[in-house]
Structure 1
Amino acid sequence: MNADLDRTRPIWRQIAAIIQNRIDDGTYPAGSRVPSVVDISTEFEVAASTAQKVLGHLKSEGLIRTEVGLGSFVEPKS
């Protein structure tokens, strides 16, 4: 597990917050792809199901959109 993650809090929420911070600071600008399930799983050393939960949460928050076969992309800020 990634050393920056706190085992006392839900891991998927921590990863979602990290990706949200990257969106907010422009690391992932509007329209750009965010990491895939495989990329998140590899970077944070978590199961694919955890990575999928992260992307599902970000989508439900309106931060990203998914396009089948293409990936997930940052939504423009409104």
Structure 2
Amino acid sequence: MSPDLDRSRPIWRQVAATIEARITSGTYPPGSRVPGIVELSAEFGIAASTAQKALAHLRTTGLVRTEVGLGTFVADRND
């Protein structure tokens, strides 16, 4: 597990917050691809199910959209 993650809080929420911060800061601009499950698992040292839960949360909040076979992308502000 990444040393930046706090074990006393849900890891998936921390990963989702990190991705959200990157979207807000423009690191991942609208329409750009965000790291997938495998990439997030490697970057944060987490299980694939944890990465999947973080991305599912971001999808639910409307920050990202998933295109089957292509990946997960930052949603346009007008979506």
Find out whether 1:40 has 2:40 as its counterpart: yes
- The one-letter amino acid paired with 2:63 is L
Partner SS for 1:73: strand
The TM-score with structure 1 as length reference comes to: 0.98
* Root-mean-square deviation over aligned CA pairs: 0.6
Report the equivalent of 1:22. 22
The TM-score with structure 2 as length reference comes to: 0.97
Number of aligned residue pairs: 78
Which structure 1 segments of 5+ residues have no match?
none
Find out whether 1:66 has 2:74 as its counterpart: no
- Percent of aligned pairs with the same residue? 64
Which structure 2 segments of 5+ residues have no match?
none
- The one-letter amino acid paired with 2:50 is T
Moved over 3 A (4+): none
Partner SS for 2:35: coil
